[in-house]
Amino acid sequence: MTIYSALEERVRKRLSQGPVRGLYSAMLRGLRGREKAIAEMGDYKAFRSEARMIKERSIERLFELADIFARNAEMRGVRVYFARDGEEAVKIIVGIARGARSRLVAKSKSLTSEEILLNEGLEAQGLNVVETDLGERIIQLARERPSHLVFPAIHKTIEDVSMLFSGEAKREVSSDIREIMNYIRQKLREVFLTADIGLNGANVAIAEMGAVVLETNEGNGRLTASLPQAQVVLVGIEKIVETVEEALILARAHAVAATGQRLTTYVSIMSGRSPMAGDRSREMHIVLLDNGRSRMLSDDVFREALYCIRCGACMNVCAPYSVTGGHIFGHIYPGPIGIPWTANIHGLDEASFAHLCISCGLCKEVCPISINIPLMISRVKNLLATRHGHPKADRSMMRYETLGRLASQLAPVSNWVLKARFSRYLLEKLVGLDRTVPLPEFRRETFAKRFHRVRVEIPTPRTRVALFLDFFPNYCRPEIAESLVAALQLAGVRVELPPQLTSGYPLIAYGDWEGAKKYAARNVELLSGYVEQGYSVVSIEPTATYTLKNIYPHLLKGDKRAELLAKNTVEALQVLRELVSEGLLAVKARYEKRYGIHVPCHQRPLSGVENVLALIRAAGLEAEVIEDGMCCGMAGTFGMKHGPIGRGLSKAMGSRLFELFTSSGVNAIVTESSVCAIHLAEGTRMKVLHPLDILYFEKPN
């Protein structure tokens, strides 16, 4: 069984069991809390930029800051150790425990300790380790791994917890929440008072003070740090910053992104050990862990993973994670950021769950440090393909442009073939295209062929634009491009259609970096001449716009033409909105309905809903945005693939959004994404339209 088929089997089993209990609602609470906290902050964009700059300069000076931290901590009586890997870190901590003649270790929540299997290492040496965070204690008793960074036991029911605590107590602990809480308080109070060692992680470490920052919402971190004779702190070297001011900014970023709090309930800055009841022999030990971090530092792509502050925001917005949970969408580190961390810390094959990523890009948008998680995940897929090859369906989907061109040339025969049951059965078996997924109709006369008929020569244009079509407006929906061109020319805009490929985003999504770079380089070559002559590149599909603006500059790092193209690429509806606001166009409605707006994932970092909502309302129509903040599940060609990692996951992810639309009372759905439209139409049985299907433009009176 290949790593891909093994993952497929795990996902198939998970989907057959239904949703992961409590996970989706917990993720929504996290997202809603984050939105509220951001709204209260004022200039969140500036705050986010500052937080990123802190991590950038800290990682740039990582080893220097580690040395400064160690010197300052030792001046305060702390013993500091550098551990090259997890095995060495475990040996160091076992040695500390033996020196303290310890038997009982009270442990605060620490994902870094999970990374190196610290509990197992200590228990193998006869030590009794007790997790004191409630969620972590539940997971420890269940002998599982956390399924979420912030909510480790979210998948457990109260009956599960009752059974686990009853087994530990050797008596019945009922499922009454008050009895459960009374039991765990009493149990942990005894642990706090009798533990020989308190072991905790750190959210941040401060070089100028030689101090560590610990954030908790339960207060257990302070008890593990203060009561035992010896305190041990395990911290990854990437968490060191220079100043206390920087540390507090990151602490705030962590709280806002993780749970929507202004600040975590308990924020403790610990530097050295104070005597207790006159006892000056109390010890503090800090273990600085490398374990692959210095290797990540030297990698141009994976370096950004070291910016992670472990807030879990990327998990809260990840649609496939919401369906599968962290035990499938994860190894030890779960969620989107867990993919590059797992590949670098635990080995590439352990990161095979990268194939569950649908490349929606939303993880980057919610990250308080703006980490380019999607690019790192794409790189992991690329490395997996180098070792194991691409899955069959992925290989087929990456040939989308060739297949689309052929289907268009053979239309309408190809459309008949693509609807025939036997053809669909063969396609499913041979190339992995699901036989049940609706497919768009292809047009023999593409927009590229029609353009010469719709183009009008404008001698003295107000401005000039070059169209970038991508797949659907050219091969399947040329009337959308025609409507756009007609409106632009009506406003006195000169329109050109340069030779071009499609954006190539599916190759990025499936990890074919070499192929994606060829697409990027060719499109940059074809479009740069227009940009240099003062043309704006107007893109119709959100994913194409996103690719030109946000992906090409990374794929072609250092290419000034790619950067210039990104800067001068604009959304089609943005251009139309500006023309309307300038009084050069009047927008009208073709149909009088109440619309629900779906915002495609790749449109969120662009204009979001601003342009489409402004134009619809300017046309006098009623509309509302309907969303849960996550991907609809189609994710380009991902939802067209046969099997659980494709159509199965896609339908499970989409079901929640389908329900939101069908229960909303709207008459139809509007979205700029052609592939989202396919998914929404099937799932809701509602009419799904492009904005340019319902809007038209005239000369103002």
Please check whether residue 537 is in contact with residue 548, taking contact to mean a CB–CB distance below 8 angstroms: yes
pLDDT at 124: 95
Please check whether residue 428 is in contact with residue 642, taking contact to mean a CB–CB distance below 8 angstroms: yes
Show Cβ contacts of residue 430 under 8 Å, excluding neighbours closer than 6 positions. none
DSSP string, 620-668: T-EEEE---SS--S-TTTGGGBSSIIIIIHHHHHHHHHHHHHHTTT-SE
pLDDT digits (tens, 9 = 90+) for 603-617: 999 999 999 999 999
β-partners of residue 405 are: none
Show Cβ contacts of residue 209 under 8 Å, excluding neighbours closer than 6 positions. 72, 244, 269, 271
Q: How confident is the model at residue 482 (pLDDT cuts 50, 70, 90)?
A: very high
Domain 43-131+195-291 matches domain 586-698 at the CATH topology level: yes
- Nearest Cα neighbor of 24 from 332, 316, 366, 330 is 316
**CA 273/CA 535 separation, integer angstroms:** 65
SS3 call for 696: strand
Mean pLDDT, residues 320-335: 95
Mean pLDDT, residues 73-98: 96
Mean pLDDT, residues 441-462: 94
Show Cβ contacts of residue 21 under 8 Å, excluding neighbours closer than 6 positions. 155, 156, 157
DSSP string, 285-304: EEEEE-TTHHHHHT-TTGGG
**Low-confidence winner among 169-183, 231-245, 268-282 (lowest mean pLDDT):** 268-282
**CA 330/CA 338 separation, integer angstroms:** 6
Q: Strands across the sheet with 594-597, in order?
A: 622-625, 594-597, 668-670, 688-689
Q: How confident is the model at residue 42 (pLDDT cuts 50, 70, 90)?
A: confident
Options 2.40.160, 1.10.3210, 2.60.40, 3.40.50; CATH for 586-698 is 3.40.50
The amino acid present at 27, given as its one-letter code, is M
pLDDT digits (tens, 9 = 90+) for 90-148: 999 999 999 888 899 999 989 999 999 999 999 999 999 999 999 999 999 999 998 88
Percent of the chain with pLDDT over 90: 92
Is it the case that residue 274 has pLDDT exceeding 90? no
Mean pLDDT, residues 374-382: 97
pLDDT digits (tens, 9 = 90+) for 163-180: 999 999 999 999 899 999
Distance between terminal CA atoms of the chain? 69
User: Alpha helices, DSSP H only, in 76-219?
Assistant: 86-99, 111-115, 118-123, 134-142, 158-169, 177-194
**CA 25/CA 17 separation, integer angstroms:** 17
The CATH superfamily assigned to 43-131+195-291 is: NagB/RpiA/CoA transferase-like (3.40.50.10420)
pLDDT digits (tens, 9 = 90+) for 618-629: 999 999 999 999
Q: Is the peptide bond before 374 cis (omega within 30 degrees of 0)?
A: no
Please check whether residue 362 is in contact with residue 631, taking contact to mean a CB–CB distance below 8 angstroms: yes
pLDDT at 149: 82
Taking all residues of the chain, what is their mean pLDDT, rounded to a whole number? Answer: 95
pLDDT at 1: 63
User: Alpha helices, DSSP H only, in 290-438?
Assistant: 293-297, 313-316, 319-324, 338-345, 362-366, 373-388, 392-397, 400-410, 413-419, 421-431
Q: How confident is the model at residue 151 (pLDDT cuts 50, 70, 90)?
A: confident
Show Cβ contacts of residue 234 under 8 Å, excluding neighbours closer than 6 positions. 89, 93, 110, 112, 113, 116, 118, 199, 200, 201, 202, 287, 289
**Any idea which architecture 3-11+301-388 has in CATH?**
Orthogonal Bundle (1.10)
Options 1.20.1050.140, 3.90.1260.10, 3.30.465.10, 3.40.50.720; CATH for 447-578 is 1.20.1050.140
SS3 call for 380: helix
pLDDT at 278: 63
**CA 262/CA 248 separation, integer angstroms:** 12
Q: How confident is the model at residue 55 (pLDDT cuts 50, 70, 90)?
A: very high
pLDDT at 155: 87
**CA 231/CA 227 separation, integer angstroms:** 9
**CA 504/CA 78 separation, integer angstroms:** 54
Helix or strand (DSSP H, E) at 487: helix 478-490
Please check whether residue 606 is in contact with residue 545, taking contact to mean a CB–CB distance below 8 angstroms: yes
**CA 659/CA 62 separation, integer angstroms:** 48
Percent of the chain with pLDDT over 70: 99
User: Alpha helices, DSSP H only, in 329-372?
Assistant: 338-345, 362-366
pLDDT digits (tens, 9 = 90+) for 499-527: 999 999 999 999 999 999 999 999 999 99
Is it the case that residue 58 has pLDDT exceeding 90? yes
Q: Which two tokens stand for residue 224?
A: 């593990």
pLDDT digits (tens, 9 = 90+) for 423-439: 999 999 999 999 999 99
pLDDT at 277: 58
> Domain segments of the chain: what residues?
3-11+301-388, 43-131+195-291, 447-578, 586-698
Please check whether residue 290 is in contact with residue 237, taking contact to mean a CB–CB distance below 8 angstroms: yes
